[in-house]
Each structure stands twice: as C-alpha cells, then as structure tokens.
Amino acid sequence: MRKEDFIWEMWHLTRELQRSRMDLCMDFCKKFNLTQQQVRILLQIRNLEKTTLTELAGDLGINPGNLSKTCKEIEENGFIKRFRNGDDKRVWTIELDERGVQVTDLVVDHVQEVFSSFSSKHDSEALESFLGFLREYVQFYRDILKRK
C-alpha cells in the first residue's frame, strides 16, 4: 500500500468511526433528552461511582464552571445527585441518581452488544493485535498534543 493511500484511508476511517460513535450516542440523547456531553458525563460518573466536580472536570477535560452548570441541569432532570462535602462546602460530590443508573445501564448494554457482535467474529489473537494498533494510534495523537 502506498503511504499516501494509507494516510487518507486512516483519515477517512477515523472520521467514520467518530461519526458512527456519535450517531450511536445520539439515539440515547434523543430518547432521554440529553446532549452528547451530558451522556459522556453520566458515563464517566458511572465509571467513577462517586466523584467530585473537580475530578470529573479533569477526567473529561471540561472547564469546571461549564461542568457545574451542566451537572446542575442533569441533576434537575433526575440523572445525578450532588451534595456538598461536610468538611469543605466548596466541594461537590456527584453520583448517579436512579434515572442516571437506568440510562447508563442501557448505554453500556448497547455498547457491549455492539462490541460483542464484532469480537465474536475474530479470535483473541486478532483482537489483541487490533487493540494494540489502536492503543499505539491513540498514544501517537496524545504525543502530538503534548508537543503543542
């Protein structure tokens, strides 16, 4: 394969992966009247179980002020619970509310179904090789961003 062909194929495939991932997310956004960022926040809170606004902002790379506003919106819609730390009133602890657990369960189940379907078509060696290339690709982009 020519280097130029590889470059443009990678460009188009990564763009298509991003678009497909966003389309998948949009189904849940529409169903539950959430933005993509709100779904991303809910999934990260699920992953952390209980977190602070500062930790969540750092993990997601979101400005803490913007995140606070977004968390207030999703709290008002019953997806999360926020409460002030007893020792430091400036610190908010965040966890999923019942509705947030239900939504993230649906998203996680759907993602597992999609990737199980893909992985069932390949042996473990091929999957590990595939993941190795993806990890390398992700690290390549992280290194580029660090140099900026």
So what's the pLDDT on residue 124? 95
Note whether 54 and 91 are within 8 A (CB): yes
33: left (phi over 0), alpha (psi -120 to 50) or beta: left
Q: Which helix (H) or strand (E) holds 28?
A: helix 3-32
Q: How many domains does the chain have?
A: 1
Task: Kindly give the interhelix angle for 98-119 and 3-32, rounded to the nearest 10 degrees.
Answer: 150
pLDDT at 3 over 80: yes
Strands (E), 61-102: 80-84, 92-96
pLDDT per residue over 68-96, tens digit each?
Answer: 899 999 999 999 998 887 777 777 789 99
So what's the pLDDT on residue 120? 94
Hey, which residues does 93 pair with through a beta bridge? 52, 83
The CATH number given to whatever domain includes residue 141 is: 1.10.10.10
49: left (phi over 0), alpha (psi -120 to 50) or beta: left
So what's the pLDDT on residue 89? 74
So what's the pLDDT on residue 90? 76
**Mean pLDDT calculated for residue range 7-35:** 88
Q: Count other C-beta atoms under 10 Å from residue 44's C-beta.
A: 17
**For a pLDDT cut of 70, what percent of the chain falls above it?**
100
7: in domain: no
Tokens of 94: 């965040």
25: in domain: no
80-84 β-sheet, strand order: 50-52, 92-96, 80-84
120: in domain: yes
pLDDT at 47 over 90: yes
So what's the pLDDT on residue 56? 93
30: in domain: no
What is the pLDDT of the chain when averaged over all its residues?
90
pLDDT at 146 over 90: no
So what's the pLDDT on residue 7? 92
26: in domain: no
- Weakest mean pLDDT among 49-53, 68-72, 85-89, 98-102: 85-89
8: in domain: no
Give the structural domain span for 71.
35-147
17: in domain: no
Note whether 96 and 79 are within 8 A (CB): yes
pLDDT at 39 over 90: yes
10: in domain: no
